[in-house]
Amino acid sequence: MNKALLAAACSALLLQACGTSPSAPAPQAAAKATERAAGKPVEMDPKVLVQNNNLGNCLACHAIASQPNVAAGNIGPPFVAMKQRFPDKARLRAIIYDEQANNPDTIMPPFGRNHVLTAEQIDAIADYILQF
């Protein structure tokens, strides 16, 4: 019971965090470029990385099964039983880096190969989604 309450509280907090994270309208691309030019740090908050449509935007295609209230697509498999499905984190990182290497007709963008995300960002995302 306590556990369930805790989980509910956690997901409520997460939702709140999601709600306040930037949802990336078009002008943000320009803002990002300026940020980079100004030497601002690379975004490393995994909750932002999975939501922002100029970054990972994982939720556009993948739902977080334990967070059904977070808007997410159904194009890719949901994030569920991740540790069981990916005992080897390197495999998960490789998918995010370039799934086309493994599945040439996938719709999944090659985030690493095409420099949408840095190796560190991919690592942070892998760690984050492995908890689901």
Closer by beta carbon to another protein, 74 or else 84: 74
In the region spanning residues 75 to 104, those forming contacts with another protein, defined by CB under 8 A, are 75, 100, 104
Give residues 22-61 in contact with another protein (rule: CB under 8 A). 25-26, 57, 59-61
Cα pseudo-dihedral 14, 19, 22, 24, rounded to 10: 120
Q: Assess 72 for contact with another protein (CB under 8 A).
A: yes
Dihedral angle, C-alpha 79, 83, 84, 85, nearest 10 °: 50
> Based on CB atoms, which residue is closest to another protein, 65 or 116?
116
Phi, psi of 82 (to 5 degrees): -65, -40
Instruction: Determine the Cα angle at 25 with ends 23 and 26, to 5°.
Output: 145
Chain residues in the site for another protein (CB under 8 A): 25-26, 57, 59-61, 71-75, 100, 104-105, 107, 109-110, 114-116
